[in-house]
Amino acid sequence: MSTEIADFVRRALEAKIPRDDISKTLATAKWPDHEIKSALAAFADVAFPIAVPRPRPYLSARDVFTYLLLFGALYTSVWHVGELLFALIDKLIPDAARIGYERDYLDSTIRWAIAWLIVSAPLFLYMFRLTSGRIARDPTARESWPRKWLTYLTLALAVSAIAGDLASLVYNALSGDLTVPILLKSAVVLVIAGSAFGYFFLDVRQGEDQ
């Protein structure tokens, strides 16, 4: 948000101009809608002679640590869920040409994936509950910079995974190699990445609405 629009909104509110009129005036002046909402949201809607600013998010070491741990546990859990499902697909529908070579490898992969999930999934659930409770008590915590950056990074990774999965599906279809295991693995990626994208996209929209 630019200082010009913030200063304009502050002076307009102190002049007792209604928020709707301020919004319409800025829209007429071709200010972007998100900047208008952000500028108005920066000041509390309370009766006082001067404009009262809302608390602004700031970068704290605690937030960096909390959200790195939360999203790190999320990425680890998601990766190993996918790895586990891929290995189970290969084990249930084996490739006859490689069955002897892959048996030990798949068993080891499954054990490692389960081991990682036993560690990372509870950590993610605990950190998720911790941060969700904090946001419920203090909605301004939703604007934490580490949280917003990592949320958008997760959206970008989810979109990249979906795009890569669809491209791989089309490539295999054009090559005539569209087998059942490939279709199942593509479905796994779409479900995992699609779920992550849907959740965080709705979370971002909810934050913007608030």
Asked whether the beta carbons of 106 and 136 are under 8 A apart, the reply is no
SS3 letters for the chain?
Answer: CCHHHHHHHHHHHHCCCCHHHHHHHHHHCCCCHHHHHHHHHCEECCCCCCCEECCCCCCCHHHHHHHHHHHHHHHHHHHHHHHHHHHHHHHHCCCCCCHHHHHHHHHHHHHHHHHHHHHHHHHHHHHHHHHHHHHHHCHHHHHCHHHHHHHHHHHHHHHHHHHHHHHHHHHHHHHCCCCHHHHHHHHHHHHHHHHHHHHHHHHHHHHHHC
Highest mean pLDDT among 21-25, 52-56, 73-77, 101-105: 73-77
Q: Per mean pLDDT, which of 5-9, 58-62, 182-186 is the most reliable?
A: 182-186
Mean pLDDT of 110-137: 93
CA distances from 36 to 22, 24, 165, 169 (A): 9, 9, 38, 43
Task: Report yes or no: 36 and 27 within 8 Å, Cβ to Cβ.
Answer: yes
Share of residues in the chain with pLDDT > 70 (%) = 91
Q: Using alpha carbons, select from 45, 46, 24 the residue that is nearest to residue 33.
A: 24
* pLDDT range class, residue 209, cuts 50, 70, 90: low
Q: 35 or 2, which is more confident?
A: 35
Residue 88 has pLDDT above 80, yes or no: yes
**Nearest of 197, 111, 188 to residue 151 by alpha carbon:** 197
Whether 29 has a pLDDT exceeding 60, the answer reads yes
The full set of domain ranges for the chain reads: 3-53, 61-209
User: What is the reported pLDDT for 61?
Assistant: 85
Name the average pLDDT for the chain. Answer: 87
**What pLDDT, in 10s, does the model give residues 130-161?**
999 988 887 777 878 899 899 999 999 999 99
> What pLDDT, on the 0 to 100 scale, is given for residue 205?
84
Instruction: Measure the CA–CA gap between 55 and 76, rounded to whole angstroms.
Output: 33
Tell me what the mean pLDDT of segment 94-112 comes to. 75
Write down the pLDDT at residue 100.
58
pTM higher than 0.85:
no
Tell me the average pLDDT across 4-28: 88
pLDDT for residue 1 is more than 70: no
In the beta sheet, which residues pair with residue 52? 44
The Cα–Cα gap between 171 and 161 comes to: 15
